[in-house]
Structure 1
């Protein structure tokens, strides 16, 4: 750097991101708790479907099973919009703290509920928590994270969720039905205790005119100790930039049609919605939800379905961890492409096995194949498209419509989730397990072709890059540049 007195946030590499890592880890405790909510269902299904069910309403029917498996997506839609609205008024930190309420209510209903309807309402609370996390946690992470670690920190969310799912699988397989909620309810309580002490984001305080709190928050998350001249200059420049952006945002909050109907915005929205659907059409979340049921259906005789499902959860964590290490090195597009093509290969292989089993071939020597195929699919999906979909969405959306675009893509994600979970047990009885796997495989292949031809690499790119594209479109179409608020303000 030629002039140390003029260090800018873009030139200065923040050396101390420790507080960002701590904050994101504490924030993801609620995501760990959400993983417990999600993972509870799979090991509990055999109990709920059996004659010795703990429910007074009797064993679940296939229709009831499809609703219990999918109703959380309806709750997620409600959680997305309600938490998004709360975030506008009270900030992401306080909105995230409120997500502990539906988590606690879930475990209370499982503990005291003894009917199908108690479980159904509890699953709505599962979705409510998940929808709120989708709205707030990515916003919180992107507002406090440096550009060079944003991808990695964003991948901590699916990693925490997957650890929760694995924990629920293990305890659900070996601990009694009514003991599980007594243990897991501790997690959302722990989240409230630990996360309360973190400051809200500097962007939130600036929008409310709280300059001193905003400056303190910025210094905390950047790890600024004021001992280095470059660091002080950079923190001052960043603070002035955020103040300017907050002022622009206050004076230019309205979104006009030209903000949405331009090439860059439409492209970003399209990528966001399609990636949201592809996260579900790899089958990963469906397999996690119905893991034990799938292994029982495919006729795995020498492997305990519970152990097989635990294996899937471990592989899912390995995939998520892989992404946290490599998303900022190998690039988003490469990982997403590899993930989709790999998922398609694994799904085609599973479909072939399931079809041969369906028509009566003796596959007893290949009992390991369903576990290997699904493990591969879940690993490769968890190492690419599932954790990176929302990161790529944020990085491809112009800042002014980023909140709106993220909401639209989250809505699409939840609709896709509901559709897949609701139809899977029904389609499995109509076209067979092999037919379901074939549909997923074909969709992954088509999705990979879309990513290959449409999506650009965004590794290491500032979030302001999307805004520069919009500026070029505006200048060409309208002869002037738009007012561009901060990308980090509206993530």
Structure 2
């Protein structure tokens, strides 16, 4: 996902590019945005795999399009190879973003489910930092080899992980579910029996009828779906992917007094640190308050960034004295984005959606996310050129302001609640914890 930031610079220079000629601005926009096109279709493949072969094997199968993408990148002799690679990567990313929150929500206990769901964003930021850290200083080919190595490491490590107990219970295989739960909890059969019985009863109740697409648009299911879609809308229209995909270009355009390669490393490090905070505090503070803090901070950061580029456009005399502002604004934006808008839409999606509709609804919501991401990444450049970078960042900032009020008014708090209690809240019933 962060590959384009250092690689676009290499592709623009014929001496560092594997292609015969430098890429054009339009080709750069397509290279950035085609990952999101593949990611629109990936969730449906991932949802099908999760339902048919399980969460574990669904996640392992995502490595196929990821490896195909890296091989195409390594073998690229024309921009068509890069287009195909980005689409392949997108399919793999779409599968991962669908199945990973599902798997995390299903193996976690109620008190750590938010933290575990937040790890998705944390490890994404490690990936960004890796490519920001090595990308400017190694060859184009070395980046591809590192990518292949990480996919292989994932396959070798995750092969030994257990399946989700929920998947086995859905398939009416209680013994396999017990084995998985014993492995995950590190307890004996007697130690997990109470939890297993509770999970089995909840799933039996929820699986009384087979879920269809139409079930997603009724009652509590629809409320969970539209909240999930709204959260991924705000996530994408915070402008995060435009910032991350084109970060090097933004620093170059800002003319900040620091090499863009080092500036992106600073931002990547901030992402990792900020994303490491969320798993620690999310089950203490709750989802809603973190979403509100995140959207507020992101709006301020984007506002400052827009102000800098407005002053740049009018050639203000104060510009030389505020060369630090783009980095400060981006640090604030990334820091607060990683506290809430980044990880929590995925964690909340895994919590809100009922078990019987999750395999249908989660791919739809994830596809909505990546459709929005395509629109942002593909048209950010042309729109910024037409109306100015400052206008583009202010539009993103306004979306973050709306996200603040949506989180405050509409998003239910799921901290410490069981999946069944969350469904009761969505259906307008009082949960046990609320009664207490």
TM-score band by shorter chain is over 0.9
Indicate the SS of the match to 2:285. Answer: coil
Q: How many residues end up aligned between the 2 structures?
A: 429
Matches of 1:303 and 1:258, distance apart in 2: 53
Among residues 303, 328, 333, which one is paired with 1:348 in the alignment?
Answer: 303
Contact 2:102 2:350 in 1 (8 A): no
Matches of 1:246 and 1:467, distance apart in 2: 13
Partner of 2:434: none
Residue 224 (structure 2) pairs with residue 268 (structure 1): yes
Contact 1:399 1:467 in 2 (8 A): no
Matches of 1:114 and 1:235, distance apart in 2: 55
Matches of 2:6 and 2:335, distance apart in 1: 20
- Alpha-carbon distance, 1:295 to partner: 0.8
Matches of 1:148 and 1:275, distance apart in 2: 22
Indicate the SS of the match to 1:216. Answer: helix
- Alpha-carbon distance, 1:130 to partner: 1.1
Residue 163 (structure 2) pairs with residue 207 (structure 1): no
Task: Report the aligned-residue RMSD.
Answer: 2.0
Indicate the SS of the match to 2:161. Answer: coil
Partner of 1:305: 260
Residues 390, 56 of structure 1: alpha-carbon distance in 2 compared, 3 angstrom cutoff = closer
Residues 471, 364 of structure 1: alpha-carbon distance in 2 compared, 3 angstrom cutoff = closer
- Alpha-carbon distance, 1:134 to partner: 1.1
Partner of 1:466: 422
Residues 259, 106 of structure 1: alpha-carbon distance in 2 compared, 3 angstrom cutoff = closer
Among residues 331, 339, 345, which one is paired with 2:294 in the alignment?
Answer: 339
Q: Mean alpha-carbon deviation: is it higher for 200-209 or for 321-330?
A: 200-209
Contact 1:202 1:217 in 2 (8 A): yes
Among residues 287, 297, 312, which one is paired with 1:357 in the alignment?
Answer: 312
Partner of 2:246: 290
- Alpha-carbon distance, 1:55 to partner: 4.0
Partner of 2:34: 71
Matches of 2:34 and 2:396, distance apart in 1: 21
Q: Mean alpha-carbon deviation: is it higher for 66-75 or for 446-455?
A: 446-455
- Alpha-carbon distance, 1:266 to partner: 3.3
- Alpha-carbon distance, 1:111 to partner: 1.3
Matches of 1:251 and 1:399, distance apart in 2: 11
Matches of 1:294 and 1:96, distance apart in 2: 34
After superposition, the C-alpha distances for 1:435-471 in whole angstroms (9 at most, x for unaligned) are: 1111111111122122222222221121112322466
Partner of 1:172: 135
Partner of 1:131: 94
Partner of 2:117: 154
**Which structure 1 segments of 5+ residues have no match?**
1-37, 227-231, 474-491
**Which structure 2 segments of 5+ residues have no match?**
430-436
Matches of 1:256 and 1:366, distance apart in 2: 52
Matches of 2:341 and 2:19, distance apart in 1: 41
Contact 1:399 1:464 in 2 (8 A): no
Partner of 2:397: 441
Q: TM-score, normalised by structure 1?
A: 0.83
Partner of 1:388: 344
